[in-house]
Structure 1
Amino acid sequence: MKSAEFLSEMFPNAKYIFMIRDGRATVHSIISRKVYYEQLVLHPEAQMRRILNFLDLPWNASVLHHERFIGKDISLSNVERSSDQVVKPINVDALSKWVGAMPEDVVRDMDELAPMLRQLGYDPNANPPNYGKPDEVVARKTEDIHKNVKEWYKKAVSVVKDPERVEKPPEE
């Protein structure tokens, strides 16, 4: 409705169908498509099966191993800040990377500063939060990243054109 006038100007000979849907069905659809990032990281296969099913796409295990396709079938942005993280397999590191990085007063007042957190199902006072236990495969991949931090760093630098944007591994 908001864009009707604009669309009429852009496409003066177009015909339109005004489709109406029961709001309860719309709400159910929105609720059933909600995906929490943390649950996608902790339980990637279950969440990706849900997502692909919703999209009417067939299951393919390659969606669990995106890191194998970086630089082959998939190219990454040179400007996106998190491109260096995408070269790594699914892992839990990013889930709590922010813990300890916020000022104390912000953490203390989080419930007041970010009321939407609670509405979305998060406990704004949980610091660190408990998102649950990762699937075994995610735990193994996270452990592999920690054991081979220098190799993953080299891979990230090889993919991202500006190596300064890649987080350096900790000194030994």
Structure 2
Amino acid sequence: MHVFMLLAKEDPPAAKALCEAMTRKAADGDVWVYYADAPPLLILRLADLRKAGCPLQLPSSRLRTTVPGQEIWIRAIQLLQLTEDGAATADTHHEATELLDKIAADDFSLLRSTPPLFYHNDLTASVRRFYWSQELGYALWLRLDFENRSRQTKAGCRSDSLQQRCGEK
């Protein structure tokens, strides 16, 4: 996926060929071995791929995790994508605000105790290694906060009135 992003800018025909190859192998678990239980990066990159012309569809099993505490990061990414795509509703903005507050509570203690799982080694290896990223968590929080606030402002939402729907005066 990262190579595709480079090729999309530098060699579009090669990027198209790579997209077709990724599409053919999308269901092959061996391709996604480092992300089997770490979907945040995959979910983020799928949106980037789509914007760059590769509408790759992964099986829904690749976009879920069984690792405790990771659901909040997956939901943060989903809310970010809805907001960036302009598909967020007033309820979406409200949910995003609540999620941002939950992550930021107690000086970001949730982020420090359960950061996003960035990737891991092959889960069949004799020694398993997991790579967590507080930085990714802070970056997601900042992006979601910025997008949520700016879209609410553009839509006429007021943060001081939860009953008010976006666009209402």
Q: Which has the higher contact order (CA 8 A, sep 6+)?
A: 1
Q: TM-score of the superposition, structure 2-length normalised?
A: 0.28
Which structure has the highest helix share of the two? 2
Report the structure number with the largest CA radius of gyration. 1
TM-score (norm 1): 0.28
Normalized per residue, the structure richer in strand is 2
